[in-house]
Each structure stands twice: as C-alpha cells, then as structure tokens.
C-alpha cells in the first residue's frame, strides 16, 4: 500500500498530520475531502530544489485542484498559475495572484476570456490553433493591447500514459503540429498586436520517466534554432506539467532528475538563458489529499463482495473514467486480519460504473471509515451533482488544526437558482 507521509497510522488510527481521521468524520461528516497543508509545501519544495537557482517559473496547473485555500498556499510560496478558463483566471485574481505569472492554456479560449486575461495582464497565452491566433490578435487590437504569445506545439511524442491524459500525439486535439509550427510563428510575427515570447509543449499527465520529455525537447530545440535563424527570438520554454505521482507501485520521476537533464541539453545547445516554465498539477496536490468515506452496508454474494460507501463516482470519477487505481486504507486497523475479504468499494449512485476500487482485501464492518488515497488531484474539481448529491466539504489540516476551506453543500443549494414555468 502507498500512504503519503502526512497520512499515517498512529496507534492503529489513520491521521491527517496530527489529527485522527475519525475526529474529522465525527465533526464534519462523510464523505469528506481532507488535505494536508504540509504535503502541499513539501511537494512545492521539490520543484524549488530542482530549479537550482536557475530561471524557472513553476505555474501550478490549477485544474487539478482549484480551491482558493490551495491556490493561495502556492501563491504564498511563490507559484505562478497555469489556467485553462476564465473561471480559473477569476480564482487567481480573487486571492491576489500575480497576473504576470499566469500562463493561459486551453484549446477553446472564448473572446471574453481573452479580454479578461489581456485586461488582467497575464504573462502569456499558450495558443493552440491558427484560428485562436487570429482571434487573439483581433481581441488585442480592440483593446489596444499587445498579446504575449507562446505556441503550444504538438511534438507527436508518446508519453506512455492513459489515452485520455495523453496530449502530445498527432491524433490528440491539443497544440499545433510540430511540422507546421514554424509557419504559424511566421504568421504571428506579421500580426500587429501579437508579441512572440515563447514556445509551449505539454505531452500528457501521470508521466513517470524523463525520456518523453527529452524526446519532445529535442524537437523544440530544433524549432527554437529555426526561429532564431529567422530573427524570432524567444524568452521562455514551457515544458508543461505531467510528472506522475505514486498511486500504487509506480517508479517516480523527480523534478530534480528531469530538470538536471533539461538544463544539460539546453546548455549544450547554447540555450541556457531561456526561462523554463513548468506547469505541474497532480504532482503538487495529488498525494496531499484523501477522500474519507463511511461504509453504509456490506453485501455478500457468491460472485462478489461489495462494500457500499457514502462516497460515489460523482465525488471521485477517476476510477470509472480512467480505470484509475486509488489505494484504500482502513482508518482503524483491526488486530484480527483473518476476517479480511475481497471487496469492491462502490457508491450509492445508480450506475454500474459507480465504483471507487475493486478487489481489495479488507476486514470491514458496517460503519467503518475508509480513506481513498491520492485524492488531492482531479477529485473535487471533477465532482458533479449527479443523482442530486451535494458535494462534500473540503478540509485543510495544518498540524493539530483543521480548517473548513469549503463547506458541505446543502440539498437546497442544488436547486435554489432553478425555477419552474408559470
């Protein structure tokens, strides 16, 4: 089993930092998202150490977890932000984030989102199509502003990850094909309200080896050199995010190992002065959170044993969407493990796809608490109200203190803005 350092058993009881999880369940109810402030800080420190005083801007990929308390923590530590919507821009501005450290990614930016980002003064737009380039120039012209631009280049590199989170292949919707990038840069250079500042590449998520990054970097270096030969000089190189976390037994890629090789390759080509931008999301928050849930019923049959819990696919959709693995920890361990059975952990939603884990050996009784591990990324941000289920509360633990960073929704709040016809 994989347990994050801030979520450990003490005297047989799983804790979040120094707080026993049963106390949180009793006070705030279940299901419940629980995050560790120290885990966020430790994950950030790994990137700072990897930068080695080089010019590296880490922009947190906030689609992983956009709670204001989470992004404020990273802002305080010095992070920039990788955003993919006007809503995420508004969240960064709401906590006083520096717009000059925001990169705006995403394939479908609308004109209003471009206007908001230009008026805020973001660092860069990562443009993903020729149509977006033309629209960005037009919007900037309307506002009388220059739009800082980086093209997101698709290098056709296999990141060896799940197809749904692989973004650097030709058949993916993201970016501009590497063979077309030079022509699009040439077009950008002719536009009156576009300022070319960089190049961007993001090949996928949950990547556990350096080779795909370095393969993409080789192609980007060729492009950068071709641009320089035509008088187009870049200020930064954005390698995206995607470093994986340990859900079970993955061999991890550390930021230091990756950046050491990136710096070496850039220096060997005389490109060591380029600012490096990284856009980590999952690797900063994934193992910093859990989903705490209670066993409502145990259901046994000749074919399967089911532990029916109060969390569901609308609280954590990754297992049913990606067939993703999340460790499941019993919050209170039992001395007699001979009673362990193999369970599917399932929720109350009316879908056969409503499962959180399959075939897990656990010794359970009705009313037990379970912790679904590694739920800090893509859990709450992908949650829904399916079956008219309110979203759980989010709690941030800091040592011996627990802070409600988002209260549990009420049933009434789900339909308070709806109306019926007269």
The alpha carbon of 194 is separated from its chain's Cα centroid by a whole number of angstroms, namely 29
Q: With contact defined as beta carbons under 8 Å apart, do 312 and 235 qualify?
A: no
For residues 67 and 73, give the distance between their C-alpha atoms in angstroms, rounded to a whole number: 10
**Would you give the DSSP letter of residue 217?**
H
CA distance 4 to 247: 10
Taking the CA of residue 33 as centre, how many other CA atoms within 13 Å lie in the half-sphere pointing to its CB? 34
Q: Which of 254, 266, 378, 400 is nearest to 318 (CA)?
A: 378
Look-up of token digits 């969407």: 321
User: DSSP character for 267?
Assistant: H
C-alpha to C-alpha distance for 137 and 256, rounded to whole angstroms:
37
Contacts of 360 (CB under 8 A, 6+ apart): 328, 342, 343, 344, 345
| 391 catalytic per annotation | no
- In this structure, what token pair is assigned to residue 312? 């569901």
CA proximity to 337, closest of 358, 360, 357, 361: 361
Identified catalytic residue from 59, 124, 201, 350: 350
Active site residue ranges: 350
């Amino acid at each position: 089993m994989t347990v994050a350092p801030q979520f450990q058993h003490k005297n047989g009881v799983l804790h979040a930092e120094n707080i026993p999880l049963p106390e949180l369940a009793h006070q705030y109810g279940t299901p419940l998202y629980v995050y560790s402030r120290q885990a966020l800080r430790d994950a950030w420190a790994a990137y700072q150490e990897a930068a080695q005083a080089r010019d590296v801007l880490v922009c947190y990929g906030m689609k992983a977890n956009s709670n204001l308390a989470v992004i404020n923590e990273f802002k305080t530590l010095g992070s920039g932000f990788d955003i993919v919507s006007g809503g995420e821009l508004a969240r960064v501005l709401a906590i006083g984030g520096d717009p000059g450290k925001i990169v705006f990614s995403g394939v479908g930016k609308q004109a209003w989102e471009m206007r908001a980002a230009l008026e805020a003064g973001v660092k860069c737009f990562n443009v993903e199509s020729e149509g977006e380039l033309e629209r960005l120039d037009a919007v900037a012209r309307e506002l009388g502003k220059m739009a800082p631009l980086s093209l997101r280049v698709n290098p056709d590199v296999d990141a060896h990850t799940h197809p749904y989170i692989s973004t650097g292949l030709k058949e993916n919707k993201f970016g501009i094909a590497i063979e077309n990038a030079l022509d699009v840069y040439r077009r950008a250079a002719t536009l009156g309200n576009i300022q070319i500042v960089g190049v961007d590449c993001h090949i996928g998520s949950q990547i556990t080896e350096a080779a795909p990054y370095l393969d993409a970097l080789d192609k980007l270096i060729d492009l950068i050199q071709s641009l320089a030969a035509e008088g187009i000089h870049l200020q930064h190189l954005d390698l995206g995010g995607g470093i994986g976390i340990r859900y079970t037994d993955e061999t991890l890629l550390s930021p230091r190992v990756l950046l050491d090789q990136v710096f070496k390759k850039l220096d060997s080509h005389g490109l060591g002065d380029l600012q490096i931008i990284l856009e980590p999301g999952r690797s900063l928050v994934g193992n910093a959170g859990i989903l705490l849930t209670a066993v409502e019923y145990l259901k046994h049959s000749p074919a399967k044993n089911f532990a029916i819990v109060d969390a569901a696919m609308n609280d954590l959709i990754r297992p049913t969407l990606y067939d993703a693995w999340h460790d499941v920890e019993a919050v209170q361990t039992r001395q007699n493990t001979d009673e362990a059975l193999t369970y599917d952990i399932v929720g109350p939603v009316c879908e056969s796809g409503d499962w959180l884990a399959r075939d897990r050996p656990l010794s359970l009784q009705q009313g037990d608490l379970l912790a679904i591990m590694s739920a800090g990324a893509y859990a709450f941000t992908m949650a829904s109200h399916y079956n008219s289920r309110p979203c759980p509360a989010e709690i941030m633990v800091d040592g011996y203190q627990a802070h409600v960073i988002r209260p549990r929704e009420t049933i009434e709040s789900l339909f308070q803005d709806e109306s019926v016809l007269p």
